Amino acid sequence: MYPRTTFFVTYCAGPHCNGAARAAAKLARLGFPVKLMAGGVTGWLDEGFALQPGASSARELAAS
């Protein structure tokens, strides 16, 4: 399980995906700080942020 102070950023691959919004809502209900990243991974990289290899997936979080 993740510490409650873990900050999550959710994103989707396309403009018509609502998975990121649904994941953000679930994380917020679980008490985690969360932000929705507009533009997906492309938007994240455009903002100058790095990706972290091996990060846990949303599926692993949902199973916990």
pLDDT tens profile 49-62: 887 776 555 455 44
pLDDT tens profile 17-42: 889 999 999 999 999 999 998 888 78
Token pair, residue 30, equals 């679980």
Question: What is the C-alpha separation between 52 and 45, in angstroms, rounded?
Answer: 12
Residue ranges of domains in the chain: 8-63
CA dist list (Å): 27 to 2, 12, 21: 11, 15, 10
Question: What is the C-alpha separation between 51 and 28, in angstroms, rounded?
Answer: 22
